[in-house]
Structure 1
Amino acid sequence: MSKLFKIFITLFITFLILSFAGWHTFNYYWRTKSTVSTFSNFTEPDSLSFSEIIWREGNFGNIKTEIGSFFVKVELNGVNDSFYMQFDTGAPQTVLYGRKLNKLKEKYPNLSPATNDSGKEYFKDAQLKIGDIILETDYLRILPEMGSAEIDSAFNIIGTIGFDAILDRKLILDFRNDKITITNQDVKDLNYSFDLVNGVSLKRFPILLPAQVDDENVNLFYDTGSSMFSLILPPNKLSNMDNSQTIDTLCCISAWGKSLEFYRRKLNSDIKIGKIIENQPDIYAASSMNPYSYFPNWVMMGVTGNQMFLNKVLLIDTKNNIFGISD
């Protein structure tokens, strides 16, 4: 056996070991650790109860979009005062915004946070009502620096609903009619006809969808909080996209209280998820995606938002690992 061949075999085995270790770390450690069962009690009526999807505009640089993010109206512990929460499958855990809560407690003392032994605030015995659906938990995390300290008579954003709200349940996102529901009802009774996407992974955070990007088989993280994007990548992966045009620098977009510089590049081929094809889309990158640069594309290439699913109905069944798309 030649020395060169031995070096090749050694490098190949090392690559396999590192790939396996990376996949194991991502799939069995990070995903398991990030999957939180927050809501012990879930109540719904006998028939499906939908709530309205409220879109809010977004912008990056001088580019504006009408689908920057979407919200649902909620009641918190029986209080109904124009409360809204962003619906974000890209967040592992449902959270409330501390600055908003501390302002609201002046008007609603029953919304006052509790304090744990280490001095951190949390919301005790929370009940979230979304339409006729009720989610209950002993403990909701509070992000102390998030939210506005002002009260808006029409639209008060009090937090984010995360993946934990749909864990072991079914989510229907009806982007045709801008409505949403969470349910435990049997899929066969939902009066929809879905084309199922094979090879999905939905039982743990994050939601992973198999896709083809520039004819490469990859996995994409489905994040409803990244509404406007067909694909967001780490900057190094965007740079390595050969079948694409020059990179534009865009400034800026706001995410979780931070201003991020974005990059854009037009793909000369397509993105495909199930039967949906996005022809030659703009794709993007941000430094916030850098942690994903270490994953091979077959593990997780990047993030897809709602752009590819507009005018569709989605079924996301995390209990039975079913992802369906209805035209």
Structure 2
Amino acid sequence: IKIDGINQTFFMQFDSGSSTTVFYKKSLESIAKKFQNQLKIDTKNNEISSSFSIGNMKIVSNTFEVLNYGEEISFDNPNAENSIGTIGTDLLEKRITVLDFKNNQCSFIEKIQENDFSDFEFKKRKILIPSIIENENLKLLYDSGTSGYELITTKEIWQQYRLKNSVLKTEKGNSWGNTLHVYSASAKKKIQFDKLILNLSEVTYIEGTSDLQKFLMKRSGMQGMIGNKLFLNHKLILDCKNEKIKLE
């Protein structure tokens, strides 16, 4: 991304599990120190008024939230991917989003010919995609922040889908500074999105998720989360305004 008035490229993580776009305070403070008078952080309300661009698209708001998170910018390292915030699904409300994982490209466009699109839910800016596993209809939250996982679900469904003799992979995850314990096992299932059937080769569950996340999971009726790993050789097109989706 490019911030208006600053001749430097920064990075933001696209997180479809986050309903709002937020900036990281520690990163912004180091930018403000180097480029004085270009950024003004409202430390009292933890907000910033800013405009930035992704390619040719410009995003402007008087009230971006600022989180007490992030790291100082490494200005001297030309290869540093300085992450200064998270782009949330508020950005998707006014554009059709094309995520081309095969070619590592994303596009935010105003119009597209919507042939062979299917329905999904965009509840409270959450992307809930219908799918089928073993003839069971599931509603799955697409959370690009869980990018390295295929399907994250409850411990009960995890036990049901996993290959019983597969090696258990354990690791620690991080969610806004909170440590999570992540358990993955091999699976050999098919997961269907509309007419497209993909192989589900791994299933995961997480310990350490907050009671609020568990409550939201039950409230929305979703049975799990899918990350980017399932879509790596595909193109995902999301029209959040009209709740239409296509996976190619």
TM-score, normalised by the number of residues in structure 2: 0.86
One of 252, 262, 271 as aligned partner of 2:191:
271
Counterpart check, 1:213 vs 2:122: no
Aligned to 1:196: 117
Q: What is the aligned counterpart of 2:17 among 72, 90, 94?
A: 90
Work out whether residues 262 and 285 of structure 1, in 8 Å CA contact, stay in contact via their aligned partners in 2.
yes
Distance 1:130 1:77 in 2: 11
Residue type of the alignment partner of 2:206 = A
1:148 aligns with 2:71: yes
SS in 2 for 1:270: strand
Query: Alignment RMSD, CA only?
Result: 2.4
* SS of structure 1 residue aligned to 2:242: coil
Deviation at 1:187, TM superposition (A): 1.4
Query: Which residue identity lines up with residue 143 of structure 1 in the other structure?
Result: L
Distance in structure 2 (CA, Å) of the matches to 1:324 and 1:204: 20
Instruction: Report Cα offsets for 1:225-253 as digits up to 9, x if no partner.
Output: 221211012335424x2664257251212
The Cα shift of 1:181 comes to 1.5
Amino acid at match of 1:111: L
Residue equivalent to 2:173: 253
From 88, 99, 111, give the equivalent of 1:162. Answer: 88
SS at match of 1:103: helix
SS at match of 2:26: helix
Q: What is the CA–CA distance in structure 2 between the aligned matches of 1:219 and 1:232, rounded to whole Å?
A: 12
Tell me if the contact between 1:263 and 1:285 (Cα under 8 Å) persists in the aligned partners: yes
How far residue 95 of structure 1 moved from its aligned partner, in angstroms, is 0.4
Q: CA deviation at 1:298?
A: 8.7
Q: Give the corresponding residue for 1:79.
A: 6
Give the AA of the match of 1:134.
K
- Whose helix proportion is higher, 1 or 2? 1
- The 8 Å contact of residues 263 and 286 in structure 1, kept in 2 or not, is answered as yes
The answer to which of 243-252 and 174-183 deviates more is: 243-252
Structure 1: state its 5+ residue gaps: 1-73
Any idea what the Cα deviations from partners look like across 1:152-178, whole Å, max 9, x if unmatched? 433211101000011132111112221
Structure 1 equivalent of residue 48 of structure 2:
123
Aligned equivalents of 2:209, 2:198: Cα separation in 1: 22
Deviations 1:248-293 (A, max 9, x none): 2512123323332111133343222223333341110112546455
Task: Call closer, same or farther: CA 1:95–1:242 in 2, change over 3 Å.
Answer: closer
Preserved CA contact (<8 Å) 1:249 1:261: no
CA distance in 1, matches of 2:196, 2:178: 32
Matched letter for residue 106 of structure 2 = I
Q: 1:167 to 1:301 in 2, by over 3 A?
A: same
Q: Aligned-pair distance for 1:77? A: 2.4
Q: Structure 1 residue 234 and structure 2 residue 154: aligned?
A: yes
- Deviations 1:88-147 (Å, cap 9, x if unpaired)? 1111100000011111111112223123xxx232112x1120011101111110001x11
Rounded to whole Å, the distance in 1 between the matches of 2:64 and 2:214 is: 31
- How high is the sequence identity, in percent, across the aligned residues? 27
1-side partners of 2:99 and 2:172: how far apart?
28
Distance 1:259 1:106 in 2: 31
| TM-superposition CA deviations, 1:20-70 (whole Å, max 9, x none) | xxxxxxxxxxxxxxxxxxxxxxxxxxxxxxxxxxxxxxxxxxxxxxxxxxx
Partner of 1:308: 230
Higher Cα radius of gyration? 1
Aligned equivalents of 1:282, 1:243: Cα separation in 2 = 7
Over 3 Å counting, the alpha-carbon distance change for 1:280 and 1:308 in structure 2 is closer
Q: Distance in 2 between matches of 1:249 and 1:306?
A: 19
**Change beyond 3 A, Cα 1:298–1:87:** closer
Specify the alignment match of 1:138 in structure 2. Answer: 62
How far 1:325 moved relative to its partner?
1.9
Counterpart of 2:31 (choices 91, 98, 104) is 104
Describe the shift of the 1:219–1:77 C-alpha distance in structure 2 as closer, same or farther (beyond 3 A). Answer: same
Aligned 1:19-98 pairs, distance under 5 A = 74-98=1-25
Give the conservation status (yes or no) of the 8 Å contact 1:88–1:163: yes
